[in-house]
Amino acid sequence: MPPLILASSSPYRRALLERLGVSFTCHSPDIDETPLPDETGEAMALRLAQQKAAAVAASCQSGLVVGSDQVCVNGGQLLGKPGTVENARRQLLAASGKTVTFYTGLCVHDIATGRSASLVEPFRVHFRPLTAAQIDSYLEKEPALDCAGAFKCEGLGISLFTRMEGRDPNSLVGLPLIALVELLAEFGVEVP
């Protein structure tokens, strides 16, 4: 198996990839993640995943590079990582009672051949109606300031939803493992 390289500095993506039991290294891509004018969330997630994989591939000798990026869309508005409690509160208030879509772009790039395979995995989260007090209580217990959408579904954030829809709940955390296993198989890597 060629060396596997995760093009990310995210501890969440690293922990997800470790679940597959494959050896890999991590390299942080240095790319501009600014949305392009009129870019959709789906297009942005795909573009950033591909750019991350390409940036890391350019600095490595060999291997398969895995790039991934996630974009949260609520009512047509792209939401990034909140960064502050105030921004997290605003994001959660805006999501209250609504369906929010997360697009997770995934790209596997073979350095030796230059071949890439990419996709976007959508996932929908249906938020229950939330009061300001519930949001504040959540953020006090689990300030998800480094997570798009301002929650951690793998933690207390699950209490904010009425349901979730999608093929792979791991895509909400930032790396769709089901799709990754399928893409790796296209490059001759079988998991398990």
Here the tokens at position 162 are 């009425």
CA–CA distance, 117 with 138 (Å, rounded to integer): 38
Task: Identify any residues that bridge with 110 across adjacent strands, giving them in sequence order.
Answer: 64
Pair 62, 114: CB distance under 8 Å: no
The active-site residue out of 30, 38, 69, 110 is: 69
51 token code pair: 């750019």
Q: Give the pair of three-digit tokens for residue 141.
A: 């217990």
Is 69 tagged catalytic?
yes
- Distance (Å, rounded) from C-alpha 62 to C-alpha 141? 43
Q: Which two tokens stand for residue 63?
A: 């291997």
Active site residues: 69
